[in-house]
A and B are shown apart, each in its own frame.
Chain A
Amino acid sequence: DIQMTQSPSSLSASVGDRVTITCRASQSISSYLNWYQQKPGKAPQLLIYTASSLQSGVPSRFSGSGSGTDFTLTISSLQPEDFATYYCQQSYSTPWTFGQGTKLEIK
């Protein structure tokens, strides 16, 4: 199975900050990497698919990059509604696997 490792596991930041979350795959997954946002008590929502494509309806302050084994999710200017947990997920091969999550908290 492909292991996905996110860093950091938690992060404190302020409104307006630029934030970067990284995700590393245990083997090359080309660009088959997706990012999700999950708020407490809610289902996850897709933000970025295939590493860098912005899902319809998602604000442009979210962006993704990377290929192979190393990927990043960047939020250019944090808004109050962005405080949540973020997950990466590989869709290169089954079983589809998720990172352990990054909890983004208000400083």
Chain B
Amino acid sequence: EEQLLESGGGLVQPGGSLRLSCAASGFTFSSYAMSWVRQAPGKGLEWVSGISGSGGSTYYADSVKGRFTISRDNSKNTLYLQMNSLRAEDTAVYYCAKDNVPGIAAAAGFEPWGQGTLVTVSS
């Protein structure tokens, strides 16, 4: 069974940093692009960042470009999101999600998703 387990969320002050991790199991991690998607309290879904299976290509939403960095360690089957210069509007549940099929990034959607980790940016 394919599984994703996020960790690293918590309360951080504006301007602070946080690193999220997503441990993957049940599939060949390096064969699949991965993404981070967030959901602010009571709001809809917002794609944040994506990375190819090799890690050689990365993609970001404009709202986080220059502040967040996505990376992966295929030897550890783990995806990361380094979040710097955090703002109140970054408060959300952050999900990691696997590309449904290998190949063209995100072409067939995201599945499965992790259970999410809550990031709260507040003083």
Contacts and interface: CB of A to CB of B under 8 A. Distances in A.
Contacts of A49: 100, 108-109
Main secondary structure, interface of A, reads loop
Contacts, number: 66
Interface string B52-79: 0000000111100000000000000000
A43 B115 contact: yes
B100 A55 contact: yes
A46 interface: yes
Main secondary structure, interface of B, reads strand
Contacts of A36: 45, 109
B59 A50 contact: no
Interface string B7-46: 0000000000000000000000000000101000000111
Interface of A: 1, 32, 34, 36, 38, 43-46, 49-50, 53, 55, 87, 89, 91, 94-101
26 contacts: A34-B110, A36-B45, A36-B109, A43-B112, A43-B114, A44-B37, A44-B113, A45-B111, A45-B112, A45-B113, A46-B109, A46-B110, A46-B111, A50-B108, A55-B100, A89-B109, A91-B108, A91-B109, A95-B59, A95-B62, A96-B35, A96-B106, A97-B47, A98-B44, A98-B47, A101-B44
